[in-house]
């Protein structure tokens, strides 16, 4: 499995961060300019398969990734996401954390954020 995994042997052009436990990659299919992925070096399928040390390293790497994105782009906000399991939409079964820069106006109404995967459940607030 690891031989065909795009995150086990990433394109060096994608790599922006390397630590003992984590590799930071620019997403090959970015949702927005600066979309980054944080990947544990060890091939594990999902968030709950990673060790506590790996999860802590991934969380710490979010700050580094944010700084790298800010060096290149001027996002107004960020979404952080993990698809853990096929029913959650995971298609590459090597854990990866998305850090997606968001830009004012990239969606007509961004309220609801990640809840928009179920559009009928995204609007949980009362309109004034």
Gap between the Cα atoms of 112 and 5, Å rounded: 32
Gap between the Cα atoms of 44 and 92, Å rounded: 11
Is residue 96 among the annotated active site residues? yes
Judge contact between 115 and 124, C-beta under 8 A.
yes
Question: Can you tell me which residue has the tokens 């506590």?
Answer: 52
Gap between the Cα atoms of 2 and 34, Å rounded: 26
Of the listed 35, 94, 96, 98, which one is catalytic? 96
By annotation, the residues acting in catalysis are 96
């Amino acid at each position: 499995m690891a031989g065909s995994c795009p995150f086990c042997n990433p394109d060096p052009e994608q790599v922006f961060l390397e630590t003992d436990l984590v590799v930071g990659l620019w997403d090959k299919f970015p949702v927005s300019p600066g979309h980054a992925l944080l990947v544990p070096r060890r091939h594990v399928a999902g968030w709950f398969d990673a060790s506590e040390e790996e999860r802590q390293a991934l969380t710490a790497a979010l700050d580094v990734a944010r700084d790298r994105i800010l060096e290149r782009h001027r996002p107004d906000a960020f979404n952080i996401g993990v698809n853990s399991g096929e029913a959650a939409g995971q298609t590459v079964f090597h854990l990866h954390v998305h850090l997606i820069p968001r830009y004012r106006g990239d969606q007509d109404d961004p309220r609801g954020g990640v809840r928009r995967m179920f559009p009928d459940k995204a609007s949980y607030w009362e309109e004034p």
